[in-house]
Structure 1
Amino acid sequence: MTFKKFAVIGLVTVSAVAATLGMGNHASAAEVGSVTTNGKVKFTKQAEGSVTPPVNPLDPDKTIDPDGGEGTGTTGPLNIAYVSSFDFGTQEISGETKTYNAKLDTVKVDGQNIEVPNSVQVADNRGNNAGWNLTVSQGGQLKDGSARNLEGAQIALKKGTAVTKTGTGVTAPTSNQNITLNPNGTASMVMNAGADQGMGQWVNKFGADNTAAVDAVTLTVPGKSAKYADSDYTTTLTWTLSDTPE
């Protein structure tokens, strides 16, 4: 009986000693020194000849291929990445004042042609966060191949909506909601980005979605304007991007 009691007491004693030693090792741990290192990154502006791929106005996270190769813009760290051309279709001659809607833009996404709102796209990768300004001007009245003007005709751009890729956190530029172009060439503001606004790539779509975009770009022709059958009337629109915001 004496041996058995010793054995039990011995086991308990050894365990207690082990726990005490463990606590002593933990308590004796101390900082003996530290080293500070650096993490760094440097940014440069985008190359002067760089091209910004245009994106889908309805989903800016996806790039597009402009249908027929039209609409490609300028190059460089501050550039116009894409602009839609406006097609008002073939219309019957009328003696009444009529307003015609531009067709939706057609672009290629993942190899498939889709319709999207007409748009203009600006990319700012300069790295100075200084802002920018985009204007549009009309180069004369619509006229046919015989230089006959479509007198009094007016092109209007409405429902400007600025969107960018998800997760950027950048403050949006201001979009002009109602533009009526003047054939005399007067420039109209389309988008304006102040300081610390509009960095990255921004799409100004005319209409938030295809439904809203149906009547966002229009051509109004007075009934009294002479219209010649089987004539194509055209004009030019000049989109100008400057590095100085309004």
Structure 2
Amino acid sequence: MPGDHAPRSKIDPRTAGALREFLRTAEDFGETELYYRARRDVPKGPPRAESLEELYARYSGCLNCVLGKSRKKIVFGMGSLRPKGLFIGEGPGYEEDRKGLPFVGKAGELLDRILAAIGLSRETVYIANIVKCHPMREPEHPDMRGNDRPPLPEEMEACRPILEAQIRILAPPVICALGATAARSLLRTGDGITRLRGKVYGYPIADTGRTVPLVPTFHPAALLRDPSLKKDAWKDMKLLRGLIPPERNPA
């Protein structure tokens, strides 16, 4: 028979004996159908974090994927607690891994200029990444420069609960996905950044029922490699700036 070799769950003999006795007693009382009622007082997991400090304390020693084994510092994020926008990149690089801050290299300097051009700054926005630890091509050589790679799907999924909690806690009026990796992860699509940019998407904030507008654009590092992309990036920034309500004052 097809089911003869199906694996069977192992039950402790004492539990099995008690269960048989219960079923015999129920049958004696004429009960032929039994139902299982789930206990409502059993917690389904740890309570959700209600502040960035609580979230950081929970994940500061995270080893949920291989990236945690080779990192120098976790790069949680930085900026206003009531941001005018949330800017999300791909992941930390060499410099970020050492300083524990996002976008501190050449790409970060360009991001600062982009923010200033639309009347924003690191003090009025929040900056984070899809993954919080440095993805390395050769993790056995963590001190080697140029040892960067895009995060793998399983690494991004391991970090997703942290990012989703950050978005829920910060409740930004708009999200900017910096680069293809961030845009694909947030929008759960395989499309490239050239196809995705120039539009506004809705990003559902987990556990809230609310949706926030999301604008994808080129990563600052891509603009450094190909300055011809800056014209389209500027259009994206003007699009994003128009989505920020004037009453949104940073904390």
- TM-score when scaled to structure 1? 0.29
RCO higher in structure (CA 8 A, sep ≥6): 1
The higher radius of gyration belongs to: 1
Q: Which is strand-richer, 1 or 2?
A: 1
